[in-house]
Amino acid sequence: MTVTLAHRKVAARLLDALVSGGATPVDADVLQPAETLLDLYGESIRHRAYVTNDPVKGEQMLRPDFTVPVVQMHMNGGGEPARYAYAGEVFRKQLAGAERPNEFLQVGYEVFDGSDPAAADAEAFTTIRDLLKPLELRATVGDIGILRAAISGLNTTERRKAALERHIWRPRRFRALLDRFGGRAAQPEGRQALVSVLAQTGPDAMIAEAGPVQGVRGPEEIAARLEALREDVEAAPIPDTQVQVLEDILRLREIAPMALERLRDLAVDLPALGPALDRMEARLAALAERDVDIGALEFDGTYGRASLEYYDGFVFGLYALRRPHLPPVASGGRYDALTTVLGQGRAIPAVGGIIRAGLVADLEGTL
């Protein structure tokens, strides 16, 4: 699928509607600085970005997304509250044989407003949903913040928590770590042997015995890594009840109010979930105030784990009922932590979403 005149007309129409609703139109350079931004997208985009080296500006990439450069622009001087809208091409490599395009039109809406995060979540969701109402799309929501809260409340080391949080978006790796940290899978034999030798000799003697240090890591970094391995091997397993809570969250598929009720039950064994569930409850109330039938809204405990890694709270997607093989026609979520990174410590609560204008044009052509 290539970008056609029909796609551009749809993008222009959607952008006009967002601007008419009060959003400020913005744009972003097609070429973005790769070194600064690639890590913010995570692996799913990092390996799919078109990167080139400029002799003056260094590594550059064709923009794979608008949200990060828009956040960067806002954090460099935008006031709060603010609402932005944009439309333009984004570029991503696709796997061999994949039917998804390498270039497509993205229309987006971003809300920077910390006065009422639940209301802002509902606003971002319903603004995009209402633009696409004629398509009768199916909505799915999730909350990365609930997973993060569950991890933060585990009775285990901070290193183990950091590893689990880092791999939220890599389900297989996350599963393997959870099995090992919970004592359901053994430590790798080589690691156990290494820690056994370390206990007998100490890190300095062990490093000296291995010979001259090669590569970019110095002795202090190597010693710190050895200490981390020792701590991991000797740490007590995560309590089975807490592992079970995480597994139950990841298996949860239910209408949103029932999902919240089930999550409240799980919070008995993992109280750290409480604040995240309070935010979910406030969000559902805000959605209901905007005429969302929350009794028919699907909640998926894993939703967002295949999305961009800067999402850290509410996430959503809108799908074509009659063409379920298609990617989401629209998607989005909350990314508060991203504003902290790009704001160099200054944070602004933010949420937004994008619409794939090409998919909208194609679906409208079949109505």
| DSSP sequence for 63-83 | -S-SHHHHHHHHHTT--SSEE
311, 304 Cβ separation under 8 angstroms? yes
Buried b (16+ CB within 10 A) or exposed e, 259-284: bbebbeebbeebebbeebbebbbbbb
Domain with CATH 3.30.930.10 in the chain: 5-150+245-364
Catalogue the long-range contacts made by 183-188 (C-beta closer than 8 Å, 24 or more residues apart). 183/237, 183/238, 183/240, 184/243, 187/232, 187/233
Confidence of residue 191 (pLDDT cuts 50, 70, 90): low
What's the pLDDT score for residue 325? 85
Residues sharing a CB contact under 8 Å with residue 21, sequence separation 6 or more, in sequence order: 127
Residues sharing a CB contact under 8 Å with residue 31, sequence separation 6 or more, in sequence order: 60, 61, 62, 63
Least reliable range by pLDDT among 17-31, 69-83, 106-120, 246-260:
69-83
Q: Which of 284, 282, 302 is nearest to 293 (CA)?
A: 284
Specify the 3-state DSSP secondary structure of 10. helix
Residues sharing a CB contact under 8 Å with residue 240, sequence separation 6 or more, in sequence order: 182, 183
pLDDT digits (tens, 9 = 90+) for 227-244: 666 677 777 899 999 999
Runs of H (alpha helix) within 252-348: 256-266, 274-289, 336-342
How far apart are alpha carbons 161 and 272 in whole angstroms? Answer: 13
What's the pLDDT score for residue 254? 97
pLDDT digits (tens, 9 = 90+) for 306-359: 877 889 999 999 999 988 888 899 999 999 989 988 887 788 999 999 999 999
Residue 86 phi/psi, 5° resolution?
Answer: -155, 165
Residue 331 phi/psi, 5° resolution?
Answer: -160, 165
Least reliable range by pLDDT among 153-157, 193-197, 295-299:
193-197
Q: Which of 66, 65, 61 is nearest to 85 (CA)?
A: 66
Q: Which of 26, 23, 11, 21 is nearest to 73 (CA)?
A: 26
Radius of gyration from C-alpha coordinates of the chain: 23
What's the pLDDT score for residue 225? 65
Specify the pTM.
0.87
147-162 mean pLDDT: 95
pLDDT over 80 at 209, yes or no: no
Confidence of residue 200 (pLDDT cuts 50, 70, 90): low
Q: Name the helix (H) or strand (E) containing 357.
A: helix 357-364
pLDDT over 80 at 45, yes or no: no
**Residue 51 β-bridge partners:** 61
Residue bearing the bigger pLDDT, 83 or 201: 83
User: How many helices and strands (H and E) does the chain possess?
Assistant: 16, 12
Q: Which of 22, 24, 41, 44 is nearest to 33 (CA)?
A: 41
Residue bearing the bigger pLDDT, 57 or 264: 264
pLDDT digits (tens, 9 = 90+) for 276-291: 999 999 999 999 999 9
Q: What is the CATH number of domain 5-150+245-364?
A: 3.30.930.10
Sign of CA dihedral 309, 322, 89, 48: positive
Residues sharing a CB contact under 8 Å with residue 268, sequence separation 6 or more, in sequence order: none
Please state, for a pLDDT cut of 90, what percent of the chain lies above it: 60
What's the mean per-residue pLDDT of the chain? 87
